[in-house]
Chains A and B, each alone.
Chain A
Amino acid sequence: MATIKELSRTRDRLVGGHRLCAGCGASIAVRQVMLGAGADTEVVTACATGCLEVSTTIYPYSSWDTPFIHNAFENAAATISGVEASFKGLQRAGKIDPERKLKFVAFGGDGGTYDIGLQSLSGAMERGHNIVYVCYDNGAYMNTGIQRSSATPRGSWATTSEVGSVQPGKPQRRKDLTAIMAAHHIPYAAQASIGYWQDLVRKAEKAFAVEGPAFLNVFAPCPRGWRCDGAQTTAIARLAVETAFWPVFEVEDGVWRLTTPARAREPRPVAEFLKTQGRFKHLFRPENAELLEEIQRDVDEYYAGLKRLAGEE
């Protein structure tokens, strides 16, 4: 893959001037993913309703240096599948050069992907469209004000899974969406973090290169929702990988492979990641010690399962 110097000279498909928060992980995720498309590749972008969409397309401005469509919240996958279908139909009709190559990418947050958009995404993946779907996962409905989603981690505070005298944040574990996507037997599914840009750009390159559907689940911190320092976004995104809170891996033609960076081979305690964010602050109170241990066990168990799938144990 390209060096960082080369990448730094590659044009951005999401340009400056948008209204996302300082330190927002979503815009970093988009820019890194788009680097994987290659500078000369024509890309059409769809975006689910969410922070990314509202902050980058305020009429009459656009931050997207690609053709762009926003339809609604739950249907970015269906929408981009229709764009791709039209392209195929127009090529078959001879109205578009049959040699022309185009890539189709859709972005959605975890709310628009894990929850309300899951059916639409599953359908599009099953139908085998030549699309890349990217979830920027910040673990809650940030655009509407930090409500819990099925990507919200266990124990996390959110405005609809409050921390109170009888409930220490969200009781349930988050859904394993990347595995669900892999279960669609698509050519490429991967989980990545904006903290490991080489890993992410390499995965994006693979996703754009395959013929057929590809899925990327990208860990993208939200300083506003996580109650953390916006200057620490990428550091926290690295810690998530290094603690195995968010293991990075890929499933290529059914073959699972952990892409864990060397320095994260032996995961650090998950508490190191959790303590960087206000949403987990209550977990460090004495009365929640057991929950903290359970969260560590969840992480260990999941990582061990991934290792088995990847044939590392």
Chain B
Amino acid sequence: MTDTTPTAVVGAAAVDLSAVEQRTIASTGNLFVAEAFRQIDPDAVCAYPITPQTTIVEEFAKFVANGRVHTEYVTVESEHSAMSATIGASAAGGRAFTVTSSQGLALMWEELHIASGLRLPIVMINANRAISAPINIHGDHSDVMGARDSGWIILMAENAQEAYDNTIIATRVAEAARLPVMPTLDGFITTHSIARGQVADDATVKAFVGEYVPDDSLLRSTSPVMVGAFANLGPTYMKVKKAERDAIDASLPIIGEVGAQWASVIGRDYGHVESYGVDDADLVVVIMGSAAGNVRAVVRRLREQGQRVGVVKVRTYRPFPAADLAAAVSGARAIAVLDRAESFGAPAGPLALDTLAALYGAGIQVPVRSYLYGLGGADVRLDLVEQVYADLADVADDGDGLLNPTPRYLGIR
């Protein structure tokens, strides 16, 4: 049987559902991602090593050395060149991927904007890691937040399975939205821990991502294309930026649709937000990434004790699924937003600011508390999460303002 269900925003995936086979494996998050890379078999991968992403480029090098991919593998001399070459490769009409983390993502900053401004469907995995100084190789979201406003679609994985699924989903989303996509996974916690998960068979993945046929290419010999023109006069620049805004806004249903298609193939749901225990919850935590599991464990325990608590995990971070998030937390009496990245000097953490805007837009006025946790891989102990719910209970009872004056650091005085 071939799934030919017509869809609203993207074409159907040409997957033979009767032939889908999934293997359950135990592997690190990075190796799950590398496996997805092998199955997608991009035309070019231009990458540079950086902890904790390195085992992806190492594993991919083995695929290249053994002829298991047709990819031209360009081992560049910096992350700046990694993104520069990936941009060239994508503009040439190839499916072009890369991988980075932390300082590498920071070094790419100008190129991130160029990739999205040129509307190139690049997929880049980011292994989320702290930003210097002080230097620290462990997981947090400081690096991602530096890319937040760069016009990339950003998908946040909680675990290896989501990192694998998001890599495949990202390929179709990028090409349908004509925007670069950054699926991320948390450094070490997800990149290096061995986890159980399922991997689809090669034919299913290949059929799902399909063949990339670019609208334009530098390699098209008839009617030469110009990429990266000088838009210095008149309103051209602003028109291009407006088109980018329209494109990333329009990508939200694309992500949802492609996620739903992948879910129909492998039986795992993809939602922009994932809720646990929120239906009757008074106290809700909003979080992204690997620590969502810690919060879920606490929620399970507290609910067993009869407390009405819940957690909402944000999977699609850009574009921000404001309506989905607002709907998920609409019954809460108090909300805590846990951020794994600073926005120094801002009234709250980055995810907290997005949450506040979502609530405001939905006309929801409940107390929100902004917390910082797990910076530089600091432990996210369950007792710290319990403390958050205890705080929220007080906030829900006493009010004492809609927003705390400055984010509270969990586990640090």
Instruction: Compute how far the CA of A124 lies from the CA of B85 in the bound complex, rounded to whole angstroms.
Output: 10
- Decide yes or no: A88 and B219 within 8 Å by CB, A53-B230, A82-B84 being known contacts: no
Within the complex, the shortest CB–CB distance from A109 to chain B, in Å, comes to 15
Cβ < 8 Å to B, chain A residues 35-94: 42, 44, 46, 53-54, 57-60, 62, 64-72, 74-75, 78-90, 92-93
Instruction: Compute how far the CA of A60 lies from the CA of B230 in the bound complex, rounded to whole angstroms.
Output: 8
- B-side contacts of A57, CB under 8 Å: 226, 228-230
Interface mask (B82-105 → A, CB under 8 Å = 1, otherwise 0): 001111111111101000000000
Instruction: Compute how far the CA of A64 lies from the CA of B218 in the bound complex, rounded to whole angstroms.
Output: 13
Within the complex, the shortest CB–CB distance from A101 to chain B, in Å, comes to 11
Interface residues on B, range: 35 or more
Q: Does B363 contact A (CB under 8 A)?
A: no
Interface mask (A83-124 → B, CB under 8 Å = 1, otherwise 0): 111111110110110000010000000000000000110111
- A-side contacts of B87, CB under 8 Å: 71, 79, 82
Whether A67 and B219, one on each chain, are in contact in the complex, defined by CB atoms closer than 8 angstroms, is: yes
- B-side contacts of A65, CB under 8 Å: 224
- B-side contacts of A122, CB under 8 Å: 77
Q: Which of A60, A72, A86, A124 contacts B92 (CB 8 A)?
A: A86
- Decide yes or no: A86 and B89 within 8 Å by CB, A67-B219, A69-B218 being known contacts: yes
Q: Does B23 contact A (CB under 8 A)?
A: no
Within the complex, the shortest CB–CB distance from A280 to chain B, in Å, comes to 32
- Decide yes or no: A83 and B81 within 8 Å by CB, A89-B44, A89-B70 being known contacts: no
- Decide yes or no: A82 and B220 within 8 Å by CB, A69-B88, A71-B87 being known contacts: no
- B-side contacts of A89, CB under 8 Å: 42-44, 70-72, 89, 94
Q: How many residues of A contact B (CB 8 A)?
A: 46
Q: Does B225 contact A (CB under 8 A)?
A: yes
Q: Does A126 contact B (CB under 8 A)?
A: yes
Whether A123 and B76, one on each chain, are in contact in the complex, defined by CB atoms closer than 8 angstroms, is: yes
- Decide yes or no: A82 and B89 within 8 Å by CB, A75-B111, A89-B94, A93-B70 being known contacts: yes
Instruction: Compute how far the CA of A82 lies from the CA of B219 in the bound complex, rounded to whole angstroms.
Output: 12
Q: Does A127 contact B (CB under 8 A)?
A: yes
- A-side contacts of B218, CB under 8 Å: 44, 67-69, 83
Within the complex, the shortest CB–CB distance from A54 to chain B, in Å, comes to 5
Task: Across the A-B interface, give the 5 residue pairs with the lowest CB-CB distance, nearest first.
Answer: A82-B88, A123-B77, A82-B85, A86-B94, A70-B228
A residues with CB within 8 A of B: 42, 44, 46, 53-54, 57-60, 62, 64-72, 74-75, 78-90, 92-93, 95-96, 102, 119-120, 122-124, 126-127
